Structure 1
Amino acid sequence: MTGPADTLSLARTLDRCTVLGPGVRAVVWVQGCPLRCKGCVAAETLPFEGGTPVAVPELAAHLAALTDVEGVTLSGGEPFAQAEALAALLDAVRERRPGFSAMAYSGFRHEALRRGTPAQQALLDRLDLLVDGPYVATRHAPLRWRGSANQRLLALTDRYAALVAQIADEDDTSAGVEVSMGADGSFSWAGVPPVPGFRETLEARLEARGFVPRTDRTQKGRRTP
C-alpha cells in the first residue's frame, strides 16, 4: 500500500477550496485505497493504478507558495496508504511555512491508526484535524465535512479544538460542495455531498444537457459540441 517516501501517487489536487476544512485550503487527493466503501463518492481514486506520480519536494514547494491558503486537506483514496510520503510532504511545507495546518480523511478509525505502522503514526502526529471512519451509505447525514453519521471530526491539536467544539454544539451542518467551470467548458467539483446519490444525479443532469462526464482522476466533464 505504500510507495517511496519521496514520491506520491495523486488523483488530483486543488489549490483553493472552502468546503473541505477550515478556511481556504489546498486539497490533495491521493490515488489508491484498500477499502471499498459502498457509495464512495470518488470511486475512481480507489485503484492503486492510474495515479500521477509527483515528487514530494515539487508538491511541497507548490503548496508553500499558496500564501492565501491556511493549510492542506489530504483526501483520496486513502491518505494513510501513503503515510510516509505525506508526512514528509507536511514536514517540507512547514520548513517554509511553520504555521501551515493539516487535515486528513481516513477510512480507518483513529484508534486503529494509533496502532498502525510507524509511518501512519508519524502522519497522524502531524495533523491538526482528522475525519475518521468509513463512509456508510445507510447512515448518510449532512454533517460538517463528513458524509455519514459514524464519521468523527477529531481535533488532534489545539489549533481547531474550539472550532470542533462549536461545530458539535451549534453548527454541525454540511459545508456543501463547490463547482467550478473552466474556460474550455470543463467542470470539476469538490466537497462532501449533503445528500446521497449527489454525484449520480449531477452527472445524469449534466449528460442530459450535453456534458459528457469523465470518471478518470481529474473528475472533470466536458460539454459536447
Structure 2
Amino acid sequence: MTEVTTLSVARTLDRCTTLGPGTRAVIWVQGCPLRCRGCVAAETLPFEGGTTHSVPELADWLGGLPDIEGVTLSGGEPFSQPGALASLLDHVRARRPEFTAMAYSGFRHEALRRGGPDRIALLRRLDLLVDGPYVASEQHGLRWRGSANQRVIPLTDRYAHVTGEPDTSAGVEVSMDGDGSLSWAGVPPTPGFREGLEERLAARGFVLRAEARREA
C-alpha cells in the first residue's frame, strides 16, 4: 500500500444517522472520475477544490468523537484516494479497534477487487460497501442508496444483518453549523429532492451551504 499522508476533503460531519448503521461520522472526499447524470453532489466531482487535511489530523478528529460507532466515506469517489483512506482507518483503529467503516463507490465491488493495491487495501478495511453508479431512472427511496442497481454489501460479519432489515429510505438530516449555515446529509428519496428542498428553504430565508451532500 502506498503511504499517503494527506486527503482532499469536500466536507465532514461529526454525527449522522442517515448514511449507514447507527450514528456515524461522515467524510466526503473531493474528486470523482465518474459523471453520473443527476448527481446530487456535483460540487464534489472536480478534483480541484476541497480542503487538504493530513491523515493524522483527521484520525485525531475521528478518534475524539464520542458516541459514534464508525465513519462513512462518501464523496466524490473514496476509491480515488484509497491509500490515504486506508491509512486513516489504520490510524483510528490503533486507538479505537472497534471503529467501523462504510464507503460509497460508483464502481462495482467486482471491479474494486480487481483494482490496484491501494484500492484493495481500502476494501479490506471496510465493513460495509454501497457500490455502483447512480442511475436516476432507478431511484426508488431505498435504504442508504440512491438507485436500485446499487447494492449494500457487508464485507465483515459486523453488519451482516443489515441485508435482512427493511429496505426503505433512511431519510435526510438538516444540520446547522456554528456560523448559522445549513447543510444536509442523506440519500434523497426522490429525484429533484435537492432543488425542491433548497427552494423551500430559500423561500423561508435559509440558504444551504454548497458543500457536498451525497450523490449515492
Shorter-normalised TM range: over 0.9
Tell me what 1:94 maps to.
Answer: 93
Q: Could you say if the C-alpha distance between residues 212 and 66 of structure 1 is closer, same or farther in structure 2, counting changes exceeding 3 Å?
A: closer
Could you say which residue in structure 2 is the equivalent of 1:187? 182
Partner SS, residue 159 of structure 1: helix
Q: What residue number does 1:174 align with?
A: 169
Alignment RMSD (CA, Å): 1.5
Which position in structure 2 is the counterpart of 1:79? 78
Letter in structure 2 aligned against 1:197: G
User: Which protein is richer in strand relative to its size?
Assistant: 1
Aligned partner letter, 1:186? S
Aligned residue number for residue 205 of structure 1: 200
User: Residues 144-165 of structure 1, C-alpha deviation per residue, up to 9 Å, x if partnerless?
Assistant: 100100000000001100222x
- For the 8 Å contact 2:9–2:51, the answer to whether it is kept is yes
Indicate how the Cα distance of structure 1 residues 174 and 128 shifts in structure 2: closer, same or farther if over 3 A, else same.
same
Distance in 2, matches of 1:76 and 1:49, equals 13
Within 5 Å, which residues of 2 pair with 1:92-131? 92-131=91-130
CA distance in 1, matches of 2:51, 2:93: 24
Q: Deviations over 1:159-191 (max 9, x none)?
A: 100222x22xxx100000001224643111000
Instruction: Trace 1:1-225 onto structure 2 (pairs within 5 A).
Output: 5-164=4-163, 166-167=164-165, 171-182=166-177, 184-215=179-210, 217=211
Moved >4 Å (runs of 4+): none
Distance 1:213 1:63 in 2: 25
Question: What residue number does 1:223 align with?
Answer: none
Once residues 149 and 31 of structure 1 are traced to their aligned partners in structure 2, the CA distance between those partners, rounded to angstroms, is: 25
Q: What is the TM-score of this pair, normalised by structure 2?
A: 0.94
Q: Is the 8 A contact 2:69 2:99 kept in 1?
A: yes
Which digits, 9 at most, give the CA deviation of each residue in 1:98-148, with x for residues without a partner?
Answer: 010000000000000000111000000000000000000011111110010
In 2, distance between residues paired with 1:37 and 1:133?
Answer: 10
Aligned residue identity for 1:128: D
Counterparts of 1:150 and 1:12, CA distance in 2: 26
**Cα 1:185/1:109, change in 2 over 3 Å:** same
Instruction: Name which of structure 1's ranges 203-212 and 127-136 shifts more when overlaid on structure 2.
Output: 203-212
Letter in 2 for 1:58: E
1:60 is displaced (CA, Å) by 0.4
Structure 1, unaligned runs of 5 or more: 220-225
CA–CA separation in structure 1 for the residues paired with 2:31 and 2:212 = 14
Alignment-mate amino acid for residue 25 of structure 1: R
Separation in structure 2 between the aligned mates of residue 94 and residue 173 of structure 1, nearest angstrom? 31
Distance 1:185 1:159, change over 3 A: same
Contact 2:181–2:208 under 8 Å retained in 1: no
Instruction: Provide the TM-score with structure 1 as the length reference.
Output: 0.90
- Length, aligned pairs only: 212
> Could you say if the C-alpha distance between residues 99 and 176 of structure 1 is closer, same or farther in structure 2, counting changes exceeding 3 Å?
same
